[in-house]
Structure 1
Amino acid sequence: MTTVDDQRIAALLRSVPVPEPRVDVNRALRDGRRRHRRRRVGGIAALTVLAGIGVVGAVQVGGNAGPPAPTTPALAASPTETGSPAARPPVTCQASWLSQPIDGPVAVANGVDPTGRYIVGDIGTGQEDGRVVLWTDGRPVVLPAAARYAAAVNSKGHVVGTNADGTGWVYRNGKLRFLSTPPGYDAVLVHAVNGRGDIVGTARRSDDSHHAVLWSTDDPEKFRLVGKRGSAATGITEDGTIVGMMGEQPYRWTPQGVGAALALPNGYPRASVDSAQGEWAIGTVPGAQTGGAVQMLPVLWNLATGAVSLLPFPGASGIAGSGEVLVADGAPLVVAPDGTASRLPGLPEVRAPEAGTYTAEAISADGLTVVGAVYENQAYRPLVWRCRR
């Protein structure tokens, strides 16, 4: 990430709510880059900054930040979870390049729709000039220059995102439209869109107050505030279930707008939710403080049963509707609910000294399409893994 990117994201972090005043922003940035590798490859996803609400609220200067990291070798299910998931058939995957319609050394695919047909990403130099690209069945289209920092794409190919000035947008059927910012708020951060056209994000203003917001791709000028002031929305499922935060607590809202807190892992006072798909959601809790930094531990929720699990991985960047967790550190893998792990293969032609540095950013609902990038010859190139059982 460039110095300019660090400064911009630091400014955005200062603008979102901070539950506790003793915050080391630089440390939060380092933790955020480990959790969201897409930031590290050129700051092309300012949209993920809102997830820093959980990071910033958890990271303090000095003192104990939470229980030590779990050491379990497999998924650590909560006591409320019963039964054993059925074994999944083995998965074989193959990586292939995504074509680049424009030049740029920082080209990353960072979103995929539930079906795996539509892929969205960014291409640029890493110096605030990234252009959004939508691949449909592998064919790329560059979105208008007024659209920056894509957040998500749905099963109809509609793309949503947030510009650096806090303006939300939706690209639908070849046209770009901007989302209404609720009166009294200065900016929004858009996070997700489902197949029904429901868009979720969070509005905020200069006094650090914030509120979860629901828009529609049909009429982006209309909106509905979700929950109470202090809420934040970071994900939405196909049936309209919204996940996010209420203060420092992980939260969910039904399609009818009824809210309830999600369970916390035993011994952890707070958590943040990053995204959801199907009956599953992922997020983080603050773990042990090591070497002056707080380790953020990945968490998995089953939205149907209410069960919560700590994951024994360095981080999780995506969740499939079928329950597979996408682990993205260096050599990505997909882990099924029964604990079976499938390593995503590399590309045979990548033989640079940096070969093996792969990022996996998002996974489809069925767990059979993963998108990301590989770093070689001092550049990032976008790729897609297609899998089958």
Structure 2
Amino acid sequence: MTTLDDQRIAALLRSAPVPEPHVDVDRAIRDGRRRRQRRRVGGFATVTVLAGLAAVGTVQLGGVAGEPAPVPPALAASPTVSVSTAPARLTCAASMLPQPILGPVAVATGVDPTGRHIVGDIGTGNEDGRVVLWTDGRAKVLPATARHGAAVNAGGYVVGTNGDGTGWVYRGGSLRFLTTPPGYDAVLVHAVNGRGDIAGTARGANDSHRAVLWSVDRPQQYRLLGRPGSAATGITEDGTVVGTSGDSPYRWTPQGVGVALAVPDGYPRASVDSARGNWAIGMVPGAERDGAVRMLPVRWNLTTGAANLLPFPSANGIAGNGDLLVGDTEPLIVASDGTSRRLPGRPEVPTGAGTYTANGISDDGRTVVGAVYENEAYRPLVWRCT
């Protein structure tokens, strides 16, 4: 992190006051129909790794040309949530992950809360990717019948969704498929926690969909969550689920009790992408031009219910301690108290020779995974901070 980074972050964080921590359920329910920012439930299109990489860095903060940008609230720590106890200054270093099979698109897409297990994809970027699990730096290629890995938990269990909408879980060398609930055509699996709870969404005809929970131990059993029209996109270690219900960004307690999340003032709706610890991140739609909507990142404090519009171009991940992984020309980690650190490039590569993207962060904020694009290929990467 440079002095310029500090000054830029400080200026952004001072730009506006923090909203009051409240959840306006009635207003959220009345808001316009919610669409998800990365994986559309209705269209159910599985995004390739290459397409996901192309999208990194394209989200812009602000409206269309000639319009004033929205003033984002401060990224402030809540007094009810503990901030990372890690040293204020950490040294981070980037290194390549071993690539067990050939392919020009090799990307680390997620990391478990401990930072030990990493999941990724290697292929050509044309729906032919193989899922790879790295554990303590050692690579294992999952069976060919498992495609599009979505998440990995602290036990090294990987979950994902094949291109035909079949959900799966990989555990201890065994691949098992998740039951698709009756009345639905396919599922989309998003997350798994340390308890083995799997969160996703079932999809049927006419854009029907509903949040679903499965178990690593019993993948043939399922529990429908919420009402028809709901979706589950993330789950925390204690079993709290985030997603949507009808038109509202939503969360469910481990007991299944649901409540709408707040929508930042001035925006019609919001989508929730993922959650860790007491935090969740998602997006709100900004200005539209030529049929394209510029999505703006939001962070929720799940303890207070506060929703903060973030002063950054994108949010690629959230750690359990509140550290935010920011997508930028160079990846950046911003702690919940506003301090930040820039992730470096590989020391053996000249500055500016590679383009870096960061996709996942561990709960202590010390492990980040992603990829570097150089020599016309993507290669999997991990940053370790000490």
Report the TM-score, using the length of structure 1 for normalisation. Answer: 0.81
Instruction: State the aligned residue count.
Output: 339
Is the 8 Å Cα contact of residues 111 and 360 (structure 2) preserved in structure 1?
A: yes
| 1:157/1:183 CA distance change after superposition, 3 Å | same
Q: Which amino acid aligns with 1:359?
A: T
Please tell me whether the aligned partners of residues 81 and 278 of structure 2 are also in contact (alpha carbons under 8 angstroms): no
CA deviations on 1:320-358 (whole Å, 9 max, x unpaired) are 000011012221000001111110000022249x62410
Q: Aligned AA for 2:209?
A: H
| 1:84 to partner: Cα distance | 10
| Letter aligned with residue 42 of structure 1 | L
Pair 1:370 & 2:368 matched: yes
Q: 1:303 to 1:42 in 2, by over 3 A?
A: same
Residues 359 and 39 from structure 1, CA distance in 2 versus in 1: closer, same or farther, beyond 3 angstroms?
farther
Identity %: 68
Change beyond 3 A, Cα 1:84–1:162: closer
Q: Where does 1:258-277 land on structure 2 (aligned, <5 Å)?
A: 258-277=257-276
Q: Matches of residues 38-117 of structure 1 in structure 2 within 5 Å?
A: 41-43=49-51, 69-72=69-72, 75-76=74-75, 89-117=88-116
Distance 1:68 1:20 in 2: 25
Pairwise CA distance, 1:90: 1.7
Contact 1:99–1:140 (Cα < 8 Å) also in 2: yes
Deviations 1:231-273 (A, max 9, x none): 0000000000000011221100000000000011111121000
Q: CA deviation at 1:275?
A: 0.1
List structure 1 runs of 4+ shifted beyond 4 angstroms: 38-41, 81-88
Map of 1:191-210 to 2, 5 A cutoff? 191-210=190-209
The residue that corresponds to 2:11 in the other structure is none
Letter in 1 for 2:381: L
Q: Which residue in 1 is equivalent to 2:347?
A: 348
Aligned to 2:301: 302
Pair 1:213–1:250, CA change in 2 (3 A)? same
Unaligned runs of 5+ residues in structure 1 are: 1-18, 33-37, 49-54, 56-62
Cα distance in structure 1, aligned partners of 2:177 and 2:255: 25
**Match of 1:207, SS?**
helix
Contact 1:213 1:225 in 2 (8 A): yes
Q: Distance in 2 between matches of 1:247 and 1:123?
A: 36
* Unpaired stretches in structure 2, ≥5 consecutive residues: 1-31, 41-45
Aligned CA distance change for structure 1 residues 44 and 293 (closer, same or farther; 3 Å) = closer
* Structure 1, 284-293 or 312-321: larger mean CA deviation: 284-293
Corresponding residue of 1:379: 377
Partner of 1:222: 221
Distance 1:347 1:308 in 2: 35
How much does 1:289 deviate? 2.8
Counterpart of 1:234 in structure 2 is: 233
SS of the aligned residue for 1:234 comes to strand
* Contact 1:330–1:356, Cα closer than 8 Å, also in 2: no
Is the CA contact (8 Å cut-off) linking 1:44 and 1:149 kept in structure 2? no
Which residue, out of 349, 356, 359, partners 1:358? 356
Q: Distance in 2 between matches of 1:174 and 1:39?
A: 26
Whole-angstrom distance in 2 between the partners of 1:304 and 1:239? 13
- What SS is found at the alignment partner of 2:347? coil
For 1:133-173, what per-residue CA distance to the aligned partner results, in whole angstroms no more than 9, with x for missing partners? 00000000000000000000000000000000000000001
**Contact 1:44 1:130 survives alignment (8 Å):** no
Instruction: Return the offset for 1:68.
Output: 5.9
CA distance in 1, matches of 2:364, 2:141: 27
Paired with 1:215 and 1:84, the residues of 2 have a C-alpha distance of 29
Give the distance between the partners of 1:82 and 1:296, measured in 2 at CA. Answer: 29
CA spacing shift, 1:174–1:127, aligned 2, 3 Å: same
Moved more, 291-300 or 154-163: 291-300
Mapped contact 1:331–1:356 kept (Cα < 8 A): no
Q: What residue is the counterpart of 1:190 in the other structure? A: 189
What is the alpha-carbon distance in structure 1 between the residues aligned to residue 196 and residue 82 of structure 2?
A: 32
Return the alpha-carbon distance in structure 2 between the equivalents of residues 247 and 378 of structure 1: 42
Q: Deviations over 1:284-310 (max 9, x none)?
A: 001123565321110000101111111
| Pairwise CA distance, 1:219 | 0.7
Change (3 A) 1:277 1:83: closer
1:370 partner letter: V
Q: Spell out, residue by residue over 1:64-94, the C-alpha distance to the aligned partner (whole angstroms, 9 max, x if none).
A: 9xx964345x73559xx66998696122211
Q: Structure 2: which amino acid aligns with 1:176?
A: L
- The one-letter code of the counterpart of 1:105 is P
User: Structure 2: which amino acid aligns with 1:101?
Assistant: P
User: Highest relative contact order (Cα 8 Å, sep 6+), 1 or 2?
Assistant: 2
Change (3 A) 1:39 1:95: farther
| Residues 75 and 338 in structure 2, CA contact (< 8 A), matched pair in contact too | no
Measured in 2, the distance between the counterparts of 1:86 and 1:203 equals 36
Q: Secondary structure at the match of 1:109?
A: strand
* Structure 1 residue matching 2:365: 3-state secondary structure: coil
| Counterpart position of 2:126 | 127
RMSD: 3.0
Partners of 2:290 and 2:328 lie apart in 1 by 20
Matched residue type, 2:50: G
Quickly say closer, same or farther: Cα 1:357–1:71, change in 2 above 3 A: farther
